[in-house]
Amino acid sequence: MNKVVLHKNPNGDTRSAPKDVTIEQFREANKSHVLEVRQCMNVLSQLLSVQGLKHDWTKFSFEDEFYHDFLNTMNNGADFVSGEWYQRHITEEKHHPFSKCHDDITLLDILETIVDCVCAGKARTGTIRPLEFNTEILEKAVKNTVELINQMTVVEGDKE
């Protein structure tokens, strides 16, 4: 992944700017910050787009197993979530944090979970089931998203 370059510039924040910062320095700091946030958001949107392209890939890569467990549940009353395919699905994909919360879950995975549940609910039953993310899941996702953004950025030089 290409790094987003952040330019060291304390002039746009009351906690870091010198007392004699000029309007030009202030303006430049703010322009730079906005551009850098836009670049980070663009990278995140690209990651989210790729994640959307890969959504539910296990349904196709292991379709026979999926279909077997689906029929076994429908015809024999088997517990679908205990089946071999579903266990593989939640191990390989991260958008079912209520069933398995991966250590590296991010807010991108949380967003995928929300989109998945809304789309599935509306298309299958016409209702959207309540999503109740517990604090542990959300805290882990926020922490990992902060680390993701930290890893995709680098600070270079002084900009005055």
Judgement on whether residues 34 and 100 belong to the same structural domain of the protein: yes
Going 2 to 44 to 152 to 16, the CA torsion angle's sign is positive
Average pLDDT over residues 50-55: 98
pTM of the model: 0.90
Final residue in a domain of this structure, among 92, 112, 147: 92
Judgement on whether residues 111 and 145 belong to the same structural domain of the protein: yes
Q: Does the pLDDT value for residue 157 go beyond 80?
A: no
| Total domains, the chain | 2
Task: Work out the pLDDT band at 160, boundaries 50, 70, 90.
Answer: very low
Are 141 and 105 contacting, i.e. CB atoms less than 8 angstroms apart?
yes
pLDDT one-digit tens code per residue, 60-70? 999 999 999 99
Which structural domain range is residue 60 located in? Answer: 56-92
Judgement on whether residues 151 and 86 belong to the same structural domain of the protein: no
* Residue-level pLDDT at 18: 87
pLDDT one-digit tens code per residue, 94-147? 999 999 999 999 999 999 999 999 999 999 999 999 999 999 999 999 999 999
Hunting for tokens 């870091």 — which residue is that? 16
pLDDT one-digit tens code per residue, 7-35? 998 988 889 988 999 999 999 999 999 99
Are 11 and 160 contacting, i.e. CB atoms less than 8 angstroms apart?
yes
Task: For the chain, give the DSSP string.
Answer: -PPEEEEE-GGG-TTTS-TT--HHHHHHHHHHHHHHHHHHHHHHHHHHHHHHHHTTHHHHHTHHHHHHHHHHHHHH---GGGSHHHHHHHHH-SS-TTT---TT--HHHHHHHHHHHHHHHHHHTS--------HHHHHHHHHHHHHHHHHTEEEEEE--
| Cross-strand partners of 129 | none
Judgement on whether residues 37 and 98 belong to the same structural domain of the protein: yes
What are the tokens at 37?
Answer: 């946030």
Judgement on whether residues 84 and 72 belong to the same structural domain of the protein: yes
Judgement on whether residues 124 and 68 belong to the same structural domain of the protein: no
Final residue in a domain of this structure, among 92, 111, 138: 92
Judgement on whether residues 27 and 102 belong to the same structural domain of the protein: yes
